[in-house]
Structure 1
Amino acid sequence: MSQLLLGCIADDFTGGTDLASMLVRGGMRTLQVIGVPQGPIPSDVDAVVIALKTRTLPTEEAVRESVAALEWLRQAGCKQFFFKYCSTFDSTAEGNIGPVADAMMDALGIDFALACPAFPENKRTLYQGHLFVGDVLLSDSGMRHHPLTPMTDANLVRVLGQQTKREVGLVPYSVVAQGAAAIREAFDAARQAGKGYAIVDAIDNANLNVIGEAAADHTLITGGSGVAIGLPENFQRAGLLPASQAAAELPKVGGLSVVLSGSCSVATNDQIEHWQKTRPSFQLDPLLLADGRDQVSEALAWAKERIGKEPVLIYGSARPEAVKAAQERLGVEAAGQLVEEALSIIAVGLDQMGVRQFVVAGGETSGAVVKALGVEALLIGAPIDPGVPWTVGVRDVPVALALKSGNFGSLDFFEKALGQIQ
């Protein structure tokens, strides 16, 4: 019987699978659960990721749900805890990253934690506390147009400092490049200087590995999935985790295939346009949905004619100008919720048609679809692209799910994902 080593809390569903994929890659058998588990979990897992939907919740609600998840993981006997947020630090000026991290630190009785959202494999790097997306600052990237959490400041020391009651410091690249011992010394110095957090620079996986090594004895780690790369090896060095070649094995799932997208990110819009060059697609329009048009039935009827012949794409994604027009008429939250609800109902209809392989783009959309399909836990497999694995949803009739954060994946991600599962 394996003992549970690492307990993780993700602030959205795709973030949870992203993190779980990193742990599986390091040899940790990992289970992702949707919300706080209500019953027993398998005994042969090394890590549990509790996926919540707290990124854009009211702060008090996000804190309450996160602390409840943390308490479950503590009761389960986890030796270390991880608070996972997006590699683009998605949040509003008020939170929820800072308030949730503060609450976790209070609950654990600790006074210091690192913060590192860097994910170089997906072109998210940190230098001098500034987050880059590819070659541009976060504030100059497509994230500045995000409909719910527009990111207009790349200085994460400043961004986190506005969200937390604790002081925020920096461990710069010049220290990280010296290795784990230098990073540990910097952590100690920051703590002694009264800092509650330290943003940690990282520009490649080697940096992430030594940051993970330096944090081996930290009770809580906060960051993107990238900084989790080095954690499995910590447990292996401590003799707590045997080497495993089977961590990414998944049961086979047959059936029909579909792509659903609610993300309005630049990457996802590009992936949709690439798909449309050779394959069929159906677009949902929040303005039509708001006017009472039954696009759900239209989409299902359209899919039924095609689904047995080839995979199809149904999407509510749009470019920034169209998103803005919908938000101005309907409100920011209402516009997104209309598309999420429609896609979740469509997913149920497709499930009834025999679709068992779903590629879903967008964190909020993924959460809605997973819930609608009655999935309470995910077995995590090998990655399709960095941060996006195939998973198998645990229920009476298993379903394969690739849950993609909006900004992740190559241009041909949808085709690549379906090719891998088939």
Structure 2
Amino acid sequence: MLLGVIADDFTGASDIANTLSKGIPNQGGLRTAQFMGIPDTPAPTDVEAGVVALKSRSIPAAEAVEQSLTALDWLRAQGCRQIVFKYCSTFDSTPDGNIGPVGEALAHALDAKGVIACPAFPTMGRTIHQGHLFVHDRLLNQSGMEKHPLTPMTDPDLRRWLGRQCQDPVGLVAASLVRQGRDVVRQAFAGAAQRGETLVIADAATDEDLLVLAQAAADAPLLTGGSGIALGLPANFIARGEADGAGVAFDGVAGPEAILAGSCSGATRGQIDLHASNHPVLRIDVDAVMTGRLQAEEVVRFLFDNSGQAPLAYSSSPPEVVAAMQDQYGREAVSDRLDTLFADVAVAMRRKGVRRLIVAGGETSSAVAQALELGALAIGPEIDPGVPILTDMDNTIALALKSGNFGAPDFFAKALQRMERP
């Protein structure tokens, strides 16, 4: 294995696995596998990039550090020469969050300074200017992310945000340097290392900026950021003759289908509304779940009875409804109970023969993927930017794990169709 990725949630893992598998047009990517949790066996020998998906985004920093260092040990044992710590392109965190602590811990373990920190994903409108994160034309704290139920982002200044989490100084490589090319950028990161700056925010507004950053970091032991930072990494290995850029064929998976949505993002709620106009949907009443009046069996029955019609079960609600439920029952209690429900539903549907499964929401996807215990997953074609088709190694089930804000309005129906026919 050439490249190893430690992702802090399962949808983000799929996102960066997709980026590594695609690579740059006309150059190809790396043969990539996604692992649901830290494996206890070696990776398949033909895997060039391995993505370890953790469910660590919202857990205490000490736990996230421990899990990430264990994942690092496994990836290094597979021969990885470069590591990427992947977090969300909207930097989902809090002042007490773990992006900074995990980034620093990995850097210290790899004896690295001047490490890129760049969550930019221009294709999805996430750009960085003077260290400030934008979502399209809005600063992060004006984009709706300030209302996130678990990780409200109230400050777009990533240096200041990371500074609250890190022990070491946080640096910045501004756009004026990035636009001067890889050699200037490499020198800028070397200068940051000499100043003792472990994590260094890098401005990026275009894919070209991300390619410059990747070229500058061709020999870096560690990078951190969103999936965009991996855009140019396969080309580095291909240029050195260490990878051939060959892709992995996908033949399609036919059979029963189901859609589970736990994300409360505006994009997912819009996708649910459109899907409901033509397909059967079941709204999961959070109050009924919390009081035990709604069990997994009822959700499974609905999905199974509507097989063949792209049935969807969702708990997604507007922010004010989510806040009311959290105030009544507690934020962690609501999250844990819904994650358990969706995981139980997915396992039951798998036993009943479901072969195409879509899950919307990072926390929901993590719970479902862990419960299914599928082992290594191959990366198939991209459905929408950042969301690939995943299949188990025996091609018995196809998954799409979608971050809340990702996907076109018709994502659900389109994803099921593309799973069946490449």
TM range (shorter): over 0.9
Tell me if 1:7 matches 2:4.
Answer: yes
Pick one of 196, 200, 203 that aligns with 2:202.
200
Structure 1 segments (4+ residues) deviating >3 Å: none
Are the equivalent residues in 1 in contact too, given 2:14–2:387 (CA < 8 A)? yes
Does residue 267 of the first structure (1) align with residue 267 of the second (2)?
A: yes
> How far apart are the structure 1 equivalents of 2:42 and 2:290?
41
1:380-419, aligned counterparts within 5 Å? 380-394=379-393, 398-419=396-417
Residue matched to 1:331: 330
C-alpha contact 2:310 2:413 (8 A) present in aligned 1: no
1:322-361 pair list within 5 angstroms:
322-361=321-360
Give SS of 2:71's match.
helix
2:16 aligns with 19
Name the count of aligned residue pairs: 415
- CA distance in structure 2 between the aligned counterparts of 1:391 and 1:301, rounded to whole angstroms: 25
Answering whether residue 294 of structure 2 is matched by residue 288 of structure 1, we say no
Q: Is the 8 A contact 2:262 2:314 kept in 1?
A: yes
- How does the TM-score come out when normalised to structure 2? 0.96
Check the 8 A contact 1:284/1:339 in 2, yes or no. no
Q: Is the 8 A contact 1:187 1:198 kept in 2?
A: yes
Q: Secondary structure at the match of 2:43?
A: coil
Q: 2: CA distance between counterparts of 1:385 and 1:406? A: 13
Letter in 1 for 2:238: Q
CA contact (8 A) 2:107 2:198 kept: no
C-alpha deviation, 1:121, in angstroms: 0.7
Offset at 1:39?
A: 1.3
SS at 1:391 equivalent: strand
Structure 1 CA distance for aligned equivalents of residues 251 and 74 of structure 2:
28
Q: Deviation per CA, 1:390-422, whole angstroms, max 9, x where unpaired?
A: 010346x72100001111111111122112112
Q: Residue type of the partner of 2:398?
A: A
Q: Which of 239, 244, 249 is residue 237 of structure 1 equivalent to?
A: 239
Deviations 1:252-296 (A, max 9, x none): 322111111111112111111121122111011221111111342
How far apart are 1:251 and its partner, in Å? 4.8
**Which amino acid in 2 is paired with 1:207?**
D
Give the counterpart letter for 1:184 in structure 2. Answer: R
Equivalent positions of 1:143-182 (< 5 A) are 143-182=145-184
Change (3 A) 1:394 1:334: farther
SS in 1 for 2:383: strand
SS in 2 for 1:151: coil
The residue correspondences of 1:79-94 to structure 2 (distance < 5 A) are 79-94=81-96
- Equivalence for 1:129: 131
Separation in 1 of the partners of 2:314 and 2:248? 29
Secondary structure of residue in 2 paired with 1:94: coil
- Structure 1 distance, partners of 2:6, 2:251, is 25
Gaps of 5+ in 2: 24-28
Aligned-pair RMSD on alpha carbons? 1.3
C-alpha displacement at 1:243, in angstroms? 3.0
1:389, distance to aligned residue in structure 2 (A): 0.1
In 1, distance between residues paired with 2:304 and 2:400? Answer: 22
Shift of 1:112: 2.5
Please tell me whether the aligned partners of residues 284 and 295 of structure 1 are also in contact (alpha carbons under 8 angstroms): no
In structure 1, the residue corresponding to 2:355 is in which secondary structure? strand
Q: Deviations over 1:87-122 (max 9, x none)?
A: 001112122100011111111122221100000111
Residue deviations 1:126-175 (CA, integer Å, cap 9, x gap):
11111111111110012111111011110101111111111111111111
Does the 8 Å contact 1:56/1:148 carry over to 2? yes
Gapped regions of structure 1 (runs ≥ 5): none
Equivalent residue, structure 1, for 2:305:
305
- What TM-score, normalized to structure 1? 0.96
Partner residue of 2:258? 258
Q: Distance in 2 between matches of 1:416 and 1:142?
A: 26
Instruction: After TM superposition, give the deviation of residue 354 of structure 1 in Å.
Output: 2.2
